[in-house]
Every structure is written in C-alpha cells, then in structure tokens.
Chain A
Amino acid sequence: MLKKNRFKKKNRLKKKKIKKSRIKENIIKEKKNKEKKNKKSRIKEDITIVDGIVLESLPNAFFRVEIVDNKNVVLARICGKMKVGKIRVIPGDKVKVEVSKYDLTRGRIIYREI
C-alpha cells in the first residue's frame, strides 16, 4: 500500500535540511584534517627539537641554553602555553628546545622535564 503523506512539503523540506547539515559537517571535518596534516609536515620540515640545559636567566623570559649534543649555546624564549600554565624555568633545568634551520642561534623552550 502507498504511504499517505509521501509528497507532502514538510517531508521534503526535512530531508533537504538533513542533507545540508550533513554536507556542512563533512566540509568542517575535512578542513580540520587538512590543518592537522599541514601542521605535522611543517614541524618536520623547518624545526628540530633538541635537549638542553639552562645556563642563565635573562629579563623578559629569555634564557641561555646549552644544547647537549652540539655544546652550542642558544638564546631561547619561553613559549606562550608555559606562561599561561604558570610553569617556571630556573637555571639548571633540563629542557626541550625548538630550533629552526633558518637561524641556529635562536630557540623556543617547549617542555621542562620533571
């Protein structure tokens, strides 16, 4: 038997709404996945993460850090997330530093080890 309200306008509009919302969700998901991929690839290409020991502290949240592998000294700054999380760095700490290939004398402190 044929259903009563197959061709009613309400049913057609409901189906269109559901379709549109699903298409939007798919577009948003694809964008997020692309951004994740781009971040990872950028990190791998331009930046290297290295271990170091903090030598001295300078004003405005700058530190002089000695890298363990090369025994190079680098001017490093704390990253914003550590400031927000109120994590303090003192000379003598073991620390992870991000160094870019475009300037080997500057770095960014990412992580302080317990």
Chain B
Amino acid sequence: MSIKKCILKLKTRDEIKKIKIAGKVASDLLYDKLDCFIKPGISTKSIDNFSEKYIRSFNMIPAFLGIKNIDGSNSFPASVCVSVNDEIVHGIPNDYKILKYGDIVSVDVGIIYKGYYCDAARTYSVGKVDCIAKKLINVTELSLYDGICKMLSGNKIGDISNAIQKTVEKHGFFVIKDLVGHGIGKSLHEYPQVPNYGKSGVGIELLSGTVLAIEPMVSISDCGIFMLNDLWTIVTSDGSLSAHFEHTVAITDNGYEILTKV
C-alpha cells in the first residue's frame, strides 16, 4: 500500500470510461441496495457477503480482498470495509459484531474492472440516531462536495484540502489529520496524497486527466488515531464517533466528473 514513484499519471478518456463503468456498480450498491439492507440486528459479515455477491454478478472483482498491510504481514480478509461508531476506516467484518439502534456504519467499496480501480464509501445511520451523529454525517457529505467543487484544471491540491477543512470547522467538528485521500487508476493507491487540511494555493497543480479519490474523515473531538491488534482497524483514541465519505473524481476538459455517482 505504498506510493512508489512521485509521477502524476494522466488518464485518457477511454480509461476514465472504464473507471466509470466500475463506479456505476459501486454507486448502485451504496446508494440503492444497501439502504434497504442495513437494519438493526444484522451482522457486519452479512453486509460483506451481500456486496461481494453483487459485485461478482457483474463479472467484476472486489479490490480489497487479499491486499497486504504496510508491514506485509496481514492480508485483508474481506471485500468490503465495515467500520462501526469508533472505528474510522478498515474495519474487518465479523460474525459476532451485530448492529443496533443508534449506530453509525461506514462501508468502503473497491472494484476492479479490466485492470482499473475505483473506490467509494458512505456512512449509514442504523435506526434512529442522536442529533450530533446526524449532523456529523451531513457535514462530512457537505465537505466532500465542497472539496470536489474546487477540482478544476489550474487549481492546486491545497484548495481542495482547505475547502474541506473550512466547512468541517465551521460546524464545530474536527478533521482527522493522519489519514489522507489518494490518486487512483491502475493501482489502488497512487501519487498524490490529498490531505483533508491545509493551506490553499499550495501543492501540485491539477491537470485534465487526473483521477483522485477524496475521502474526508471527520470526528467530534480533536483526537488522534490508534491501530488495533489485528493490524488493520484504525480507531479514534478518544472513543468518539467518526464519519467517512469517499468518491472517485476525474478532471476532464469540461470540468470535474464524479465517477461513483449515478
């Protein structure tokens, strides 16, 4: 999961079309099918089984299955990351973890189609949730779209990260600083890294043909991260709630294009 070369690879129109086909499947999964599926009483493993079946029915491959850790020791055992409440990202789905009323679940999906990757995520609320949790989810979604609006050829990466930080801090929440977005294309994690905080007008220039996966991660308190013993799940050090949204976005001659949205 390391970024090896500091070269910005630009994608042609045909390659972006292939990513879009994969992105349509991901958006159907997240925004149509899992809405009805996620209820209190189900286990996180059932979400994983459902989504893997759906992806394979279109002859596509789930991207996260078998990926190695930074150390090279563990490999991710499932096709979808499911993280509940505390957990920020990379939660491993289990049989004994059951959802109940008032939980927040974030599902992260990755798909491979003809050698090209795509990445999307969304947080759901299980049953009736607190006002603060509802507000968290809405604010992260808002910040994602505010960051995507700044993706024009000629702007820099700092503009995106500044926009995300401003909307989040306007509403009284905090950005998680140790986790970043990334480029995407022929491999899952590519150059450049897109942090969720920073100054505007700073960083690499965006050109038509860049494809980025922007993922704002927001929490209620100003806390750090902590990795659990399975060497995958990342948790807030406080125990406070966190939300996570992600889209893959491409820059074309006409402007930005969200590839993982219907």
The answer to whether A1 has its CB under 8 Å from any CB of chain B is: yes
CB neighbours (8 Å) of B189 from chain A are: 1
With A and B bound together, what is the CA distance between A1 and B181 in angstroms?
6
The answer to whether B193 has its CB under 8 Å from any CB of chain A is: yes
With A and B bound together, what is the CA distance between A1 and B178 in angstroms?
9
CB neighbours (8 Å) of B3 from chain A are: 4
The answer to whether A2 has its CB under 8 Å from any CB of chain B is: yes
CB neighbours (8 Å) of A2 from chain B are: 1, 70, 178-180, 234
What total of A-B pairs shows CB separation below 8 Å? 23
The answer to whether A40 has its CB under 8 Å from any CB of chain B is: no
Residue of B nearest to A5 (CB): B193
- In the complex, how many residues of chain B place their beta carbon closer than 8 angstroms to a beta carbon of chain A? 14
Q: Chain A interface secondary structure, helix, strand, loop or mixed?
A: loop
The answer to whether A32 has its CB under 8 Å from any CB of chain B is: no
CB neighbours (8 Å) of B182 from chain A are: 1
The answer to whether B91 has its CB under 8 Å from any CB of chain A is: no
Contact (Cβ within 8 A) B1 A1:
yes
CB neighbours (8 Å) of B195 from chain A are: 3
The answer to whether A6 has its CB under 8 Å from any CB of chain B is: yes
Residue in A1, A2, A3, A4 with the greatest tally of chain B CB atoms within 10 Å: A1
With A and B bound together, what is the CA distance between A3 and B224 in angstroms?
13
With A and B bound together, what is the CA distance between A2 and B179 in angstroms?
5
Residue of B nearest to A4 (CB): B193
With A and B bound together, what is the CA distance between A1 and B234 in angstroms?
10
With A and B bound together, what is the CA distance between A12 and B181 in angstroms?
22
Chain A 1-39 near chain B by CB (<8 Å), digits 1 or 0: 111101000000000000000000000000000000000
Using A1-B193, A3-B179 as known contacts, list a sample of 7 further A-B pairs with CB atoms less than 8 Å apart, ordered by residue number in A: A1-B1, A1-B181, A1-B182, A2-B179, A3-B177, A3-B178, A3-B193
Sample 23 A-B pairs with CB under 8 A, ordered by A number. A1-B1, A1-B179, A1-B180, A1-B181, A1-B182, A1-B189, A1-B193, A1-B215, A2-B1, A2-B70, A2-B178, A2-B179, A2-B180, A2-B234, A3-B177, A3-B178, A3-B179, A3-B180, A3-B193, A3-B195, A4-B3, A4-B193, A6-B178
